[in-house]
Amino acid sequence: MAFLAPLRELDRTQRHTVLASFLGWTLDAFDYFLLVFVMPEVAREFGVEVAGVTFALFLTLTMRPVGAFLFGRLADRYGRRPVLMADIVLYSALGLACAFAPSLTALLVLRALFGVAMGGEWGIGASLAMESIPARARGLVSGLLQSGYPCGYFLGAAVYALLFDHIGWRGMFMVGALPALLVLYIRRSVPESPVWQARNGAGQRRDALSAMRGHWGRFLYLIVLMALFNMFSHGSQDLYPTFLKVQHRFDTATVGVLTMVLNLGALVGGLAFGAWSERVGRRRAIVTAALLALPVIPLWAFGGSVLLLGAGAFLIQAMVQGAWGVVPTHLNELAPDDVRGTLPGFAYQLGNLLAAFTATAQAWLAKGNGGDYAFALAAWIAAVAVLLAAVTWLGPEARGVRFGEPAAESGA
């Protein structure tokens, strides 16, 4: 297909780098979403309500900015590649440890620590990929990288559908240790970012405060933007399996299949809108995807059959992750060179921090409306989609900027 042409233009090394960055985010998301599928069972074992277990999601999201800053600064100082490998090993080990949590408190602590490691991966992986490819390939690669998130969700759904009835929720977390094997591939096949190497070799690196001079307003804008993005994605995903199990009383297989359908839509949307943003601009692609989510909400939340719910799930995530597909390149293009390992990921995860209450707020909203998860999900997504479109349109853009040179910006 014509829109895949930029991928065919990448050389062997660039393809390895993109694949490694994609897999890093895929497996990071896989470990995160394992808990989403088993919250009712965890709640039952520890004798609490589901809303109590959603606090683990809150803690994970809350701690992600810490990891984004710490690992991002390390990546700007010591290189993208070694820090990415260390981060992957850490989140895999913490995911495995969750399988042995003796209490809800222990699980909450482990998921908070997991959040630190999870917070580091996205920014490093995205900067490594974006700095290693031609500018004309960024839109499509951005969509591909962000599609790692629904791919991780898809893998979680597959493991849940195929294995959960046999291995239980603790076994699910044991499977979550497998991402550590990715480090072997990165060590063998992925080089350091050429942009980082060039600036490091020339002694051009500046400290973070110097690099951020004149950019603090943009940083604050990106935090607000990413808060809305995370309310959009987590608001459409985190309680979706619970909605299917509690409100519709679907069995394990049906929940797994519908969630896989949801993520197929996300893959299509991320690739399509990411590639399209190369033609129409980053902001226009995001705004279009966000607004197209609105007419899909009734089908997604109130579909009267498995078939209709599946169609709604596919379409809503095509729009949600379509908007998200533009984010990796949009944030990296807006980041100064010396903090590209830190700024995109840190802004992303601080936005996550502001959105960390999403699942808990939706659970409370559903409880306050007689357990109506459909109402809670629909109302949330409608409001956030409109806000996201407005804030994106009012913001800056630097499509196609050459890294290492000043950005020619449009917008505020």
Q: Where are the domains of the chain?
A: 13-199+214-393
d(CA 342, CA 94): 22
d(CA 124, CA 128): 6
Looking at every residue in the chain, the average pLDDT score rounds to: 86
Does the model's pTM come out above 0.75? yes
Is 13-199+214-393 in CATH node 2.40.30.30? no
Task: Report CA-CA distances (Å) from 36 to 66, 76, 90, 155, 156.
Answer: 22, 32, 20, 13, 9
Neighbours of 179 (CB within 10 A): 24
From first CA to last CA, the distance across the chain in angstroms is: 35
Question: What does each of the 412 residues of the chain score in pLDDT, given as a tens digit?
Answer: 666 677 778 888 999 999 999 988 888 888 888 898 888 899 999 988 887 888 888 888 789 889 988 998 898 888 889 999 999 999 899 989 999 999 999 999 999 999 999 888 888 988 899 888 888 888 888 888 888 888 888 888 888 888 998 999 999 999 888 878 888 889 889 999 888 888 776 665 556 566 566 668 888 999 999 999 999 998 998 888 888 888 888 888 888 888 889 888 988 999 899 989 989 999 999 999 999 999 999 999 898 888 999 999 999 999 999 999 999 889 988 887 777 778 888 888 889 888 878 888 898 888 888 888 889 999 999 999 999 999 999 999 888 777 765 443 444 3
Burial class (CB in 10 A: 0-12, 13-18, 19+), 64: buried
CB 385 within 8 A of CB 293: yes
114: alpha, beta or left? (left if phi > 0; alpha if psi -120 to 50): alpha
Write out the DSSP string of 67-125. Answer: HHHHHHHHHHHH-HHHHHHHHHHHHHHHHHHGGG--SHHHHHHHHHHHHHHHHHHHHHH
d(CA 63, CA 228): 18
The alpha carbon of 214 is separated from its chain's Cα centroid by a whole number of angstroms, namely 28
